[in-house]
């Protein structure tokens, strides 16, 4: 089983975050980068498979300050030698999909294939609405999804169209696309150039640009592994089953997770994809491991403060708690594996809002006393 880590993106401890405007404090951001650098190097040394991060902007409060998926991925890559960098992920409604495809392809080359990339829909409306690549695009939350309202429907439609364009750009020498939200290239675009005629493609003899292509294509053929990062809905899981992405499921209800696994497998088969059960999805949750019960209780308190106070108002459910002594944590994971059959485990760590020493102790203890006992 490959074990991956996912950071929170917090720039400070509880008291620092609650003091206000922590995301703009230079001292905290420098410590944040230094601590992440240390966690990445330690994870690389201890044998973890990957290190993941997300994308959020306008984070003046400092709770999730990872504001450029490409640059942060390169930062992780520069501080590791074997870890896979998991970008979890590009918030599709806020990106021009062709530009995102080209950026990711370039990043894949710079990391020489140590890259996996996720695409997500975006749930924080303050920044999604300000960064929307399609006018009128907004974020969506579980509440929007349950209501099946227009905001959720538009967000999903842009997301799905964007993912298809990215994949087309990665796998085609040149292409054209006309959808509900995006048209590539724009109609009636003309630019005549002799090099286009002699060395390229997609421009006719009159200079009409009929197709475009990105350069480079990804380092990995045909493209980096795709994640459906933090998938919680049946519809999203089925989309990734058709498109070849692996959902990361952090649900604390194994019956629900098992339903998602089975739905993915059935949808993939109906789409002509034969996916072994262990490759259907990744599973994971929030890590706290200690042999000292008092220290463990303190970790758990810190975790639930952060998740309840930050994610709760966005209607985000608590992730699966993978918490306890090494024996208890091992049992939680092996029981879930026996039920679901995954080959990737993704662990949320208390980066930023927990002391550096606490996070490092978790990583070392898990690697020493849990990882060797996993399937």
Domain ranges of the chain: 1-82+281-375
Helices 254-270 & 234-243, crossing angle to 10 degrees? 40
pLDDT, position 13: 99
Buried b (16+ CB within 10 A) or exposed e, 139-174: bbbeebbeeeeebbebbbbbbbbbbbbbbbbbeeeb
User: CA-CA-CA-CA torsion for 81, 51, 255, 145, nearest 10 degrees?
Assistant: -140
- What is the pTM (predicted TM-score) of this model? 0.97
pLDDT, position 148: 83
pLDDT, position 360: 99
**Segments of the chain assigned E as strands:** 2-6, 50-53, 84-91, 115-120, 177-178, 183-184, 226-228, 246-249, 282-289, 321-324, 344-348
Alpha-carbon distance of 305 to 38, in angstroms, equals: 24
Instruction: Write the CB contacts of 112 (distance below 8 Å, at least 6 apart in sequence).
Output: 219
- List alpha helices for 172-253, DSSP H: 194-199, 234-243
Check if the beta carbon of residue 115 is closer than 8 Å to that of residue 84: yes
> How far is residue 317 from each of residues 44, 70, 304, 340, measured CA to CA in Å?
30, 27, 11, 20
Three-state SS for 119-173 is EECCCCHHHHHHHCCCCCCCCCCHHHHHHCCHHHHHHHHHHHHHHHHHHHHHHCC
pLDDT, position 229: 86
One digit per residue, pLDDT tens: the chain, 375 residues?
A: 999 999 999 999 999 999 999 999 999 999 999 999 999 999 999 999 999 999 999 999 999 999 999 999 999 999 999 999 999 999 999 999 999 999 999 999 999 999 999 999 999 999 999 999 999 999 998 889 888 899 999 999 999 999 999 999 999 999 999 999 999 999 999 999 999 999 999 999 999 999 999 999 999 999 999 999 888 889 999 999 999 999 999 998 999 999 999 999 999 999 999 999 999 999 999 999 999 999 999 999 999 999 999 999 999 999 999 999 999 999 999 999 999 999 999 999 999 999 999 999 999 999 999 999 999
Per-residue tokens: 123: 């749930």
The sign one gets for the Cα dihedral 37, 42, 47, 53 is negative
């Amino acid at each position: 089983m490959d074990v991956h880590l996912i950071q929170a993106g917090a720039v400070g401890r509880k008291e620092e975050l609650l003091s206000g405007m922590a995301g703009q404090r230079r001292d905290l951001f420098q410590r944040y980068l230094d601590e992440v650098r240390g966690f990445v190097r330690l994870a690389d040394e201890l044998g973890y498979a990957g290190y993941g991060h997300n994308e959020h902007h306008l984070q003046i409060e400092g709770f999730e300050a990872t504001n450029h998926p490409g640059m942060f991925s390169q930062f992780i890559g520069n501080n590791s030698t074997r870890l896979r960098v998991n970008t979890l992920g590009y918030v599709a409604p806020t990106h021009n999909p062709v530009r995102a495809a080209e950026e990711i392809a370039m990043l894949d080359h710079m990391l020489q294939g140590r890259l996996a990339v996720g695409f997500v829909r975006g749930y924080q409306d303050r920044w999604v609405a300000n960064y929307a690549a399609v006018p009128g695009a907004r974020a969506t939350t579980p509440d929007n999804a349950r209501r099946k309202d227009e905001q959720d429907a538009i967000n999903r439609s842009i997301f799905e169209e964007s993912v298809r364009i990215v994949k087309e750009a990665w796998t085609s020498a040149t292409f054209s696309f006309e959808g509900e939200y995006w048209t590539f290239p724009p109609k009636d675009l003309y630019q005549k150039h002799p090099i286009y005629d002699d060395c390229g493609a997609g421009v006719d003899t009159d200079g009409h640009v009929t197709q475009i292509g990105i350069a480079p294509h990804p380092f990995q053929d045909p493209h980096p592994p795709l994640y459906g990062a933090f998938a919680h809905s049946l519809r999203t899981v089925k989309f990734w089953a058709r498109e070849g992405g692996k959902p990361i499921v952090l649900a604390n209800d194994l019956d629900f997770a098992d339903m998602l696994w089975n739905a993915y497998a059935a949808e993939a088969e109906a789409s002509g994809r034969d996916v072994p059960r262990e490759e259907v999805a990744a599973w994971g949750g929030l890590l706290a491991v200690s042999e000292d019960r008092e220290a463990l209780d303190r970790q758990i308190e810190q975790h639930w403060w952060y998740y309840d106070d930050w994610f709760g108002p966005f209607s985000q459910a608590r992730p699966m708690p993978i918490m306890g002594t090494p024996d208890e944590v091992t049992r939680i994971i092996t029981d879930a594996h026996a039920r679901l059959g995954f080959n990737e485990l993704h662990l949320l760590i208390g980066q930023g809002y927990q002391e550096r020493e606490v996070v490092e102790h978790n990583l070392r203890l898990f690697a020493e006393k849990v990882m060797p006992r996993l399937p």
